[in-house]
Amino acid sequence: MASTATPSRDDFAALLDEQLGGADGGFEGRVVHGTVTAIENGMAVIDVGLKSEGRISLREFMRGEDDHGLTVGSEVEVYVDRVENADGEAMLSRDRARREAAWDKLESEFGEGKRVEGRIFGRVKGGFTVDLDGAVAFLPGSQVDIRPVRDVTPLMDVPQPFQILKMDRRRGNIVVSRRAVLEETRAEQRSELIDRLAEGQVIEGVVKNITDYGAFVDLGGIDGLLHVTDMSYKRVNHPSEVINIGDTVTVQIIRINADTQRISLGMKQLESDPWEGVAAKYPVGLKTSGTVTNITEYGAFVELEAGIEGLVHVSEMSWTKKNVHPGKIVSTSQEVEVMVLEVDSDKRRISLGLKQAHRNPWDEFADSHPVGSIVEGEVKNATEFGLFVGLPGDVDGMVHMSDIAWGISGEDALALHRKGESVQAVVLDVDVEKERISLGMKQLEKGAPAAGVAASSGSLRRNEVVTVTVLEVRDGGLEVQAGEDGATGFIKRSDLGRDRDEQRPDRFQAGQKIDALVIGFDRSKKPNFSIKARQIAEEKQAVEQYGSSDSGASLGDILGEALKRQ
């Protein structure tokens, strides 16, 4: 019978190393199975098959799924940090084992794009910390919800799904997002809901938000935009005039964009269209009344009835007020009378006239102030060519500089009057089409011909020599009258004689009779006379009858001979 050698201590150690695979058996840095052999002094004694047992604080077993029922004999997974410490015990960790197991699971789920479950348990700078079954992840503040969340307390310590955005096991970094899960869920819900909706469908919704351009209506998990122009056929300046947040409204789906999942809604589409038959109801030329709803730089909008508005262009607002802002003629909410000028049912446009609803003031003036009438008004403006005078009916008439006064130049006559002065004038002409009224002031002077009466009618003709009587001597010339009851006229200073010495008005006196030539008529048909022109005409006639320029006779000889024969 063969004898068996008894193994020594060294042989036993060698056999153990061989069994464990080395000095530490490759246990360090690994998660291994262990058995609880004792629980004492708040510590669990665990045997993992090493030379010595290890100890783990019971607190590490209070933060996971194994926080209940830990007893002697329980099987647990632990992480071997070191095989032996200074006391010869194995350094074990339940937390580290849980983290390692969690990382293995998370890496697999991250690779497959799956959602993971976790709990928000703390706050850090820029966000929150999330427990992913032992692994700690970072949740940025922008990834908490679709919209900013002021209070996250209701979300703390609540199991909920997250999406892993980034993982780095070597650095121990995990970034997760709750917002991505919500957006994906909402997109799925939106797709399902959109599949159940159709254009033209009438549906109820709740107003969630109001902006300047419209309102967002919750249709039961998906929002639709109700634009301000689709709220009512009448003008709506702001959506809050029609609806409020929280209101339940009935709307019609106008359009669904499958690509962007945007839904356009309308309320006015559920009402009857007021523009149907508008051309027959408001024919061109109709006078009607309306309310001013809006004023712009280019005109004013007038509401004729609910949903029907027309534009009064600034050029159609007033007969007399030109280049004036519409706000100075009408005001918002004012009731005005207008005339329909044009109707375009296709473009939903009505052109209105404010001034056409009232009679043309130039027509009224022409009827009430015929040519020859005397009017009185205030000088509104003085220009380089005349005076503008305000007249009844809010119209202006112009006195040309040549019709201001007799005997002086137009510039001097203009200087005699100033803005704001009240003056009288005679109506010389009214042109309704061109909106012009011509006035004369000098026609009211003594001896002036009546307006509209031709002073040359009857006896006076151009280039005729007539005997006139001096009525008045002025610095600028003589006021004269042809015959006893003839037309009055004027002889300018420069027309009193050929020589400068003869061109002195003071050598004449009122009542003196002199011969003068009719040289023309002014705008009011008043004759202009000239002594100088008569002298030149007589000299020319004498030369033609009694001599020539090459006869050798002097002008004095020719005139003397003519006088002798006479």
3-state SS track over 367-426: HHCCCCCEEEEEEEEECCCEEEEEECCCEEEEEEHHHCCCCCCHHHHHHCCCCCCEEEEE
Do 38-111 and 361-444 show the same overall fold? yes
Pick the CATH number of 278-357 from 2.40.50.140, 3.30.565.10, 3.30.70.2740, 3.90.930.12: 2.40.50.140
pLDDT in tens, 423-432: 889 998 888 8
Residue 241 is predicted with a pLDDT of: 86
**What long-range pairs does 88-93 form, CB within 8 A, spacing at least 24?**
88/51, 88/52, 89/52, 89/53, 89/54, 89/55, 90/48, 90/50, 90/52, 90/53, 90/54, 91/54, 92/34, 92/46, 92/48, 92/54, 92/55, 92/56, 93/56, 93/60
pLDDT in tens, 495-543: 998 888 888 898 999 888 899 998 887 655 678 899 998 988 888 887 7
CATH 2.40.50.140: does it fit domain 465-543? Answer: yes
Residue 352 is predicted with a pLDDT of: 93
Indicate the domain borders of the chain. Answer: 38-111, 113-183, 197-270, 278-357, 361-444, 465-543
Residue 163 is predicted with a pLDDT of: 92
Q: How far apart are CA 96 and CA 79, in angstroms?
A: 6
> How is domain 361-444 classified at the CATH fold level?
OB fold (Dihydrolipoamide Acetyltransferase, E2P) (2.40.50)
What's the predicted TM-score (pTM) here?
0.43
- Superfamily of domain 38-111, CATH level 4: Nucleic acid-binding proteins (2.40.50.140)
Pick the CATH number of 197-270 from 3.20.20.150, 3.40.50.2300, 3.30.360.10, 2.40.50.140: 2.40.50.140
Q: Classify domain 113-183 by CATH number.
A: 2.40.50.140
Residue 127 is predicted with a pLDDT of: 92
Question: Of 248-252, 290-294, 351-355, 446-450, which range is least confident?
Answer: 446-450
Residue 27 is predicted with a pLDDT of: 66
pLDDT band at 485 (very low <50, low <70, confident <90, very high): low
Residue 96 is predicted with a pLDDT of: 74
